[in-house]
């Protein structure tokens, strides 16, 4: 077995110190195995490769279930190989059987501290302090460091939206993997992008209200005021304007009323009394 300093032969006496407590510093992946287990031997080269690559960003703890039957029973090991990932003293993920390298890598990456995270924190602090130029520079540096760490891309898109750099924000969001684009956090950010870009071109709310008072059929005024109300957190008034847009012209701006309502539902978590009420109103207009 490898002599790596990042591989520990764990037993009941050192398990608390080397696994539970150590997991407060880095993820600890516990491999329950046995000498007679063929699949266990197939898995070990994959684990060794990851240990060598990550250089201490996670610890591999090997537990021989024949020698450590008490530990195996405590963690309800029914078959081997069995993997349990500990973080902050708790089992956060577990897998059974031989796993592909890509699956193991994704599991570890979800819980390890990444080099780019320090830059992300600095960027958020800079943006909060009003220095978006510095924030963007830090996030671009983080992207160069870890090109596949998509959380950096999301941080960058948020700052681009705040700075009305809408085309760049859209490119960042559309450049995410399709599986990630379906996530709620990305859908919410895309909704924010849509409403922010519309509101940025709009006159003040008072002007929009005067326009609608004189001409209730001004579709763009309904759309712009609806977008403004979304960003202000007045979702009910926003949805009233988007419904009015649907009622007067369902095809305006490529179905902006319908798409806008769906975007508001996303921002509201797609549940709740308000969403259900306006989803019913939208359905009555569609059918």
Conformational region of residue 233, where left means phi above 0, alpha means psi within -120 to 50, and beta covers everything else: left
Q: What angle do CA 213, 202, 277 make, to 5 degrees?
A: 65
Phi/psi at 189 (nearest 5 deg)? Answer: -70, -35
Given the residues 10, 29, 40, 172, select the one marked as catalytic.
Answer: 40
**Residue carrying structure tokens 């046995």:** 34
SS3 for the chain, per residue?
CCCCCCEEECCCCCHHHHHHHHHHCCCEEEEEECCCCHHHHHHHHHHHHHHHHHCCCCEEEEEECCCCHHHHHHCCCCCCCEEEEEECCEEEEEEECCCCHHHHHHHHHCCCCCHHHHHHHHHHHHHHCCCHHHHHHHHHHHHHHCCCCHHHHHHHHHHHHHCCCHHHHHHHHHCCCHHHHCCHHHHHHHHHHHHHHHHHCCCCHHHHHHHHHHCCCCHHHHHHHHHHHHHHCCHHHHHHHHHHHHHHCCCCCCCHHHHHHHHHHHHCCCCCHHHHHHHHHHHHHHC
How far is 40 from 212, CA to CA, in rounded Å?
71
Tell me if residue 283 is catalytic.
no
Tell me if residue 37 is catalytic.
yes
Given the residues 20, 34, 37, 219, select the one marked as catalytic.
Answer: 37
Q: Which residues participate in catalysis according to the annotation? A: 37, 40
């Amino acid at each position: 077995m490898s002599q790596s300093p990042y591989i520990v032969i764990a037993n009941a006496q050192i398990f608390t110190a080397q696994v539970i407590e150590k997991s407060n510093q880095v993820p600890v992946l516990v491999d329950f195995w046995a000498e007679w287990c063929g699949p266990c031997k197939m898995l070990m080269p994959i684990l060794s490769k990851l240990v060598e690559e990550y250089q201490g960003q996670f610890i591999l703890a090997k537990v021989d279930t024949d020698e450590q039957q008490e530990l195996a029973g405590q963690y309800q090991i029914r078959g081997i190989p069995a993997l349990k990932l500990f973080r902050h003293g708790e089992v956060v993920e577990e897998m059974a059987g031989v796993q592909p390298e890509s699956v193991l890598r994704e599991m570890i990456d979800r819980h390890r501290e990444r080099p780019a995270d320090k830059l992300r924190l600095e960027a958020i602090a800079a943006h909060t302090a009003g220095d978006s130029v510095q924030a963007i520079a830090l996030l671009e540096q983080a992207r160069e460091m870890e090109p596949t760490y998509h959380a950096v891309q999301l941080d960058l898109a948020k700052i681009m939206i705040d700075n009305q750099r809408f085309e760049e924000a859209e490119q960042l969001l559309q450049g995410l993997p399709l599986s990630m684009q379906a996530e709620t956090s990305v859908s919410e950010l895309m909704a924010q992008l849509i409403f922010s870009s519309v509101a940025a071109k709009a006159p003040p709310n008072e002007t929009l209200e005067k326009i609608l008072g004189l001409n209730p059929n001004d579709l763009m005024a309904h759309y712009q005021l609806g977008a403004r109300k979304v960003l202000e957190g007045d979702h009910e008034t926003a949805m009233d304007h988007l419904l009015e847009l649907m009622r007067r012209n369902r095809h305006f701006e490529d179905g902006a009323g319908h798409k806008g309502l769906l975007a508001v539902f996303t921002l509201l978590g797609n549940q709740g009394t308000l969403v259900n009420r306006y989803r019913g109103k939208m359905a009555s207009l569609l059918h």
